[in-house]
């Protein structure tokens, strides 16, 4: 079997698995967030945190819940890292430096999971499990909760109430993420991933000598880091490490975990707004972009010219031979089109155009299918922009799902799509202009610029993957990337929840002959075009200086 055929078969198997999970998982999540009953364990949690899950919240109260919970998470995780040296199970590792502790705390609370340290050489068992792994669950649940609040904004009328944040958070963790991640961890252990709390021990090498390795709750961490589109990892090599991702089967399963909730949430959306076809339209948009990017990535990595590439059957530099070019290309596209950030290969070693495709996937806003929750609310914002553009074309007030898109709504949507590009481009410009950040680059020219651009794109979009080749463990990068993560996560949430509250207060307007049918393929095409054009106009000059220049020169 040739490498190209193997890659295509992996892609087809992945699509089949996602299709099988789409309806049951989407239906289940819709029931979870529509139910008025509480499980006993959930009641214990509500009692412990002093929350009343039956109290409806308007958008300011919902936002305060999101921000307060996340702020406590940052402070707790920061303190845990600073105290690591005196904690049990630290494996002898010292406390984390203040700037790196800040960066890591912000990273995991914002669902970014950017790591400027070697995981197996810095974090002990307590920080990994009680700190980082816990945030993998709750940060993902926060994203889903905000998406559900926006969906309720479309579904409800003449009320500003969006549900209860604490109920949405707890249900997301208890009813969705924990049970699915538990099953996924068992599957990964069966595939060969490790799961233990062993200390540091010597491991022999085939060529003589030895090296030190420590164990960890790897399979369970790997399960939630992919399922919650978190990223990160216990080992520096991330999902390229055989302890985290041992076989081609585990690799394909991890890609499935990355994509399954974001895609299934479109079904949840359709059910909650009372039109499954609307969910299919959003799904079709996400799937079109994801398949297009995957095909382009596989083409650039398989068809790159040169004698070495021709003999090997593709651009194998920086890729695990266990997975091949096909498995690495699908993983790279999926992790950058979502907010995952896990990697099974070094994106810096991809071809110039391949690295640009990965970067562009994040620049789209990670909406195809995007992160857990963040992908859905990001796509719905783009849908509002698309119907506004269509309304301008025909001279009609735009509507989406029976709600008029007026001045307030379009201003909030516009602010949402502007904040991330502003963070990426401004901080990239500062880093290139100042001498200290520039000293962290190991490459010059277009590739060096791509390293900086990729880092701020990853942080501002809460992705967390790295281009490699950049020394990001400096005070400048730990501080500025941490700031980008915070602003890139929570400022857009302000606009999303304000928009949800505005929509929920409206009275639905009946559809007429002039209403744009947003469940039709025409709207899907319009939405795909709007996404690509808006992103292209925003980022094309920066891409031209980096990956495009490198790709055309090779």
Q: Is the pLDDT of residue 312 over 60?
A: no
Q: How confident is the model at residue 304 (pLDDT cuts 50, 70, 90)?
A: low
Q: How many C-beta atoms surround the C-beta of residue 236 within 10 A? A: 14
Whole-structure pTM value: 0.94
- The pLDDT, as a whole number, for residue 348 is 82
pLDDT tens string 313-341: 556 677 888 888 889 999 999 999 999 98
Q: How confident is the model at residue 307 (pLDDT cuts 50, 70, 90)?
A: low
Q: Is the pLDDT of residue 118 over 80?
A: no
Q: What are phi and psi of 345, to 5 degrees?
A: -160, 165
The C-alpha angle with vertex 145 and arms to 258 and 364, in degrees rounded to 5, equals 50
- The pLDDT, as a whole number, for residue 123 is 87
Q: How far is Cα 135 from Cα 485, in angstroms, rounded to an integer?
A: 15
- The pLDDT, as a whole number, for residue 306 is 56
Mean pLDDT for 489-505 is: 96
Q: Is the pLDDT of residue 268 over 50?
A: yes
- The pLDDT, as a whole number, for residue 224 is 95
Quote the strand ranges of 298-447, DSSP E.
Answer: 399-400, 403-404
pLDDT tens string 270-289: 999 999 999 999 999 999 99
Mean pLDDT for 405-428 is: 94
pLDDT tens string 347-375: 888 888 888 899 999 999 889 999 999 99
Cis check for the bond before 369: say yes or no (omega within 30 of 0).
yes
- The pLDDT, as a whole number, for residue 125 is 85
The β-bridge partners of 213 are 201
Q: What percent of the chain has pLDDT over 90?
A: 63
Q: Is the pLDDT of residue 233 over 50?
A: yes
Which candidate, 45, 234, 42, 225, places its Cα nearest to that of 137? 225
Average pLDDT, the chain: 90
- Ordered alpha helix ranges (H), 211-323: 218-227, 248-272, 276-302, 307-312
Q: Is the pLDDT of residue 138 over 80?
A: yes
pLDDT tens string 236-265: 888 999 999 999 999 999 999 999 999 999
Q: Is the pLDDT of residue 210 over 50?
A: yes
Q: How far is Cα 161 from Cα 144, in angstroms, rounded to an integer?
A: 17
Q: Is the pLDDT of residue 311 over 50?
A: no
Mean pLDDT for 52-80 is: 96
Under a CB-based contact definition with an 8 Å cutoff, are residues 239 and 222 in contact? yes
- The pLDDT, as a whole number, for residue 206 is 66
Q: Is the pLDDT of residue 444 over 80?
A: no
Q: How far is Cα 90 from Cα 219, in angstroms, rounded to an integer?
A: 19
Under a CB-based contact definition with an 8 Å cutoff, are residues 498 and 412 in contact? yes
Q: How many C-beta atoms surround the C-beta of residue 376 within 10 A? A: 31
Helix/strand/coil for 21: helix
Mean pLDDT for 520-542 is: 91
Which of 16-30, 33-47, 191-205, 407-421 shows the lowest per-residue confidence on average (mean pLDDT)?
191-205
- Most confident of the following: 127-131, 391-395, 452-456, 494-498: 494-498
| DSSP symbols for 33-63 | HH-----HHHHHHHHHHT--TT---BHHHHH
Which own/partner contact pairs does 400-408 have at CB distance under 8 Å and 24+ positions apart? 400/154, 400/518, 401/154, 401/273, 401/275, 401/278, 401/518, 402/154, 402/508, 402/509, 402/510, 402/511, 403/154, 403/503, 403/506, 403/508, 403/509, 404/506, 404/509, 408/502
């Amino acid at each position: 079997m040739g490498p190209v055929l193997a890659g295509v078969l992996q892609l087809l198997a992945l699509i089949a698995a996602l299709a099988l999970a789409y309806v049951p998982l989407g239906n289940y999540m819709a029931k979870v967030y529509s139910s008025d009953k509480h499980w006993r364990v959930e009641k214990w949690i509500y009692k412990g945190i002093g929350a009343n899950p039956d109290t409806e919240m308007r958008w300011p109260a919902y936002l305060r819940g999101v921000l307060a919970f996340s702020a406590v998470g940052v402070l707790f995780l920061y303190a845990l890292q600073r105290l690591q040296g005196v904690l049990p199970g630290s494996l002898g590792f010292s406390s984390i430096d203040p700037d790196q502790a800040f960066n890591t705390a912000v990273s995991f609370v914002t669902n970014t999971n950017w790591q400027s340290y070697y995981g197996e050489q810095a974090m002990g068992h307590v920080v990994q499990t009680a700190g980082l792994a816990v945030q993998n669950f709750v940060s993902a649940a926060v994203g889903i909760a905000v998406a559900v609040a926006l969906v309720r904004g479309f579904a409800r009328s003449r009320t500003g109430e969006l549900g209860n944040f604490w109920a949405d958070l707890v249900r997301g963790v208890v009813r969705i993420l924990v049970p699915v991640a538990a099953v996924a961890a068992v599957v990964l252990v069966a595939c060969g991933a490790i799961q233990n709390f062993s200390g540091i021990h010597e491991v022999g090498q085939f060529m003589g000598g030895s090296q030190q390795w420590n164990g960890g709750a790897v399979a369970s961490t790997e399960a939630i880091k992919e399922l919650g589109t978190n990223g990160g990892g216990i080992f520096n090599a991330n999902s390229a490490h055989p302890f985290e991702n041992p076989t081609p089967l585990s690799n394909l399963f991890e890609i499935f975990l990355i994509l399954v909730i974001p895609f299934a949430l479109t079904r949840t959306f359709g059910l909650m707004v009372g039109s499954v076809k609307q969910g299919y339209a959003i799904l079709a948009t996400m799937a079109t972009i994801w398949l297009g990017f995957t095909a382009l990535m596989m083409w650039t990595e398989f068809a790159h010219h040169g004698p070495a590439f021709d003999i090997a059957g593709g651009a194998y530099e920086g890729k695990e031979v266990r997975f091949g070019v096909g498995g690495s290309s699908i993983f790279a596209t999926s992790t950058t089109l979502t907010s995952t950030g896990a990697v099974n290969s070094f994106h810096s070693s991809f071809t110039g155009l391949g690295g640009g495709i990965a970067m562009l996937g994040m620049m789209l806003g990670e909406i195809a299918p995007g992160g857990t929750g963040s992908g859905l609310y990001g796509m719905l914002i783009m849908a509002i922009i698309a119907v506004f553009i269509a309304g301008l074309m025909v001279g009609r007030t735009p509507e989406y799902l029976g709600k008029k898109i007026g001045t307030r709504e379009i201003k909030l949507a516009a602010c949402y799509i502007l904040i991330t590009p502003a963070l990426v481009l401004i901080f990239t410009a500062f880093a290139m202009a100042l001498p200290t950040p520039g000293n962290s680059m190991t490459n010059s020219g277009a590739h060096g610029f791509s390293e900086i651009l990729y880092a701020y794109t990853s942080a501002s979009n809460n992705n967390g993957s790295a281009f490699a080749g950049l020394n990001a463990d400096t005070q400048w990068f730990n501080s500025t990337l941490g700031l980008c993560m915070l602003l890139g996560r929570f400022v857009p949430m302000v606009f999303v929840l304000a928009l949800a509250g505005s929509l929920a207060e409206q009275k639905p307007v009946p559809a007429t002959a002039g209403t744009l049918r947003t469940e039709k393929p025409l709207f899907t095409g319009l939405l795909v075009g709007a996404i690509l054009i808006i992103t292209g106009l925003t980022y094309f000059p920066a891409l031209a200086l980096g990956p495009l220049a490198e790709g055309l020169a090779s």
